């Protein structure tokens, strides 16, 4: 719980306590009714100056004096706590977080991103541009504030290694989790916990050290990415084959949706199609859609690069097609004809 919110709650408890003490004191000392005791207590605490219900005894006057002196500190503490909480926008932040949590609870087949550092920020940007629902988990308040300033991403302020935080992010309904925490040990813990909570989900983890890669895969990571290794390899390739690297990046990372991109397409629509009509040539993919099939992944996880037109497609294959958004949509429509 936020320290400022805790302070407001404590202040309210103190105020209620001083009112109860005042009411009990007036009932016991002056034998007033509950309503009369309430009136006298509020009158004393607020120092409004209204008259007494009846002439107080010496004991009653002494109690009233103590009550007024005690209430000065309590009321002052309440006013400063509530004012600070309101001025700093915490009421607004509280209700905003409440709305965010309600949206998160409704998500299904979304992606969970653990960490909003350099890698996490880039992952969130890519997913956002692709229209994929995701939830960010970040423990640093400074990073949360930066995130709120930069975007309207759904987020949870908490530690991703805690089961309760992962559950709040909807891990049991998520289709994938990407953990890019700075520590390999924390990433390992997140992978292990996430795999136990959702055995079917895709888990991608960042690793800083080579020896961590094997441990992360044993813990349940589907893929392990080492930014340092990838960065070094890319720099070397830019020296050896700079145009090839730039070409591949222009296909994979370009932002304009009308430009050519590489897409992954499932062939499950071909389940009811006869075998003799499943070849790339028979489907006339290139002539009908304009897209190019540059690779195929079969059910065994093996890849076939630059397949020939006579290659027979099965319903378990995945196609890697190069084309514009319009061409890919036409290819998908073509395959759906056989469903």
3-state SS, 138-158, equals: ECCHHHHHHHHHHCCCCEEEC
88, 154 contact by CB (below 8 A) = no
| Residue 190: per-residue pLDDT | 95
Distance from C-alpha of 166 to C-alpha of 182, rounded to nearest angstrom: 18
**Cβ-based neighbours of 16, under 8 Å, separated by 6 or more:** none
256-336 fold: Alpha-Beta Plaits (3.30.70)
Q: Fold for domain 107-230?
A: Rossmann fold (3.40.50)
Query: What fold is seen in the domain 3-87?
Result: Helix Hairpins (1.10.287)
Q: Are 169 and 188 in contact (CB under 8 A)?
A: no
Domain parsing of the chain, residue ranges: 3-87, 107-230, 256-336
Cα torsion for 240, 243, 245, 246, to the nearest 10°? 150
* pLDDT score at 133: 92
Q: Are 135 and 170 in contact (CB under 8 A)?
A: yes
Looking at residue 130, its pLDDT comes to 80
pLDDT of residue 274: 54
Q: What is the pLDDT of residue 147?
A: 84
Q: Which residue ranges in the chain fall short of pLDDT 70?
A: 1-2, 48-53, 86-97, 253-259, 271-277, 338-339
| Predicted local confidence at residue 299, as pLDDT | 82
Q: Which value, in Å, is the radius of gyration of the alpha carbons in the chain?
A: 32
The answer to whether 273 and 284 are in contact (CB under 8 A) is no
Residue whose token pair is 């996430």 = 194
Phi, psi of 50 (to 5 degrees): -70, 160
Summarize pLDDT for 292-320 with one digit per residue, the tens.
898 999 888 888 888 888 888 888 888 99
């Amino acid at each position: 719980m936020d320290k400022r919110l805790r302070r407001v709650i404590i202040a309210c408890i103190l105020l209620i306590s001083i009112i109860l003490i005042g009411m009990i004191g007036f009932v016991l000392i002056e034998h007033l009714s509950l309503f009369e005791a309430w009136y006298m207590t509020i009158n004393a605490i607020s120092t409004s100056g209204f008259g007494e219900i009846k002439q107080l005894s010496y004991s009653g006057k002494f109690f009233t004096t103590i009550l007024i002196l005690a209430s000065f500190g309590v009321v002052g503490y309440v006013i400063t706590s509530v004012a600070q909480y309101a001025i700093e926008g915490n009421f607004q932040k509280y209700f905003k977080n409440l709305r965010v949590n309600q949206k998160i609870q409704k998500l299904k087949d979304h992606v969970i991103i653990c960490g909003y550092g350099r890698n996490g920020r880039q992952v969130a940007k890519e997913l956002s541009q692709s229209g994929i629902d995701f939830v960010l988990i970040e423990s640093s308040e400074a990073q949360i504030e930066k995130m709120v300033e930069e975007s309207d991403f759904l987020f949870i302020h908490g530690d991703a290694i805690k089961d309760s935080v992962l559950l709040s992010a909807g891990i049991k309904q998520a289709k994938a989790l990407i953990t890019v925490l700075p520590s390999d040990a924390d990433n390992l813990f997140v992978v292990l916990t996430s795999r136990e909570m959702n055995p079917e989900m895709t888990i991608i983890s960042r690793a800083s050290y080579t020896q961590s890669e094997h441990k992360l895969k044993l813990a349940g990571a589907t893929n392990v990415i080492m930014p340092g290794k990838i960065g070094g390899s890319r720099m070397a390739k830019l020296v050896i084959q700079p145009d090839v690297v730039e070409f591949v990046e222009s296909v994979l990372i370009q932002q304009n949706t009308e430009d050519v991109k590489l897409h992954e397409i499932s062939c499950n629509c071909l389940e009811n199609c006869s075998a003799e009509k499943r070849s790339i040539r028979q489907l006339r993919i290139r002539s009908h859609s304009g897209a190019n099939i540059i690779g195929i992944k079969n059910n065994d996880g093996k890849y076939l690069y630059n397949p020939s037109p006579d290659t027979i497609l099965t319903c378990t294959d995945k196609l890697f097609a190069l084309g514009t958004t319009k061409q890919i949509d036409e290819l998908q429509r073509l395959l759906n004809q056989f469903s």
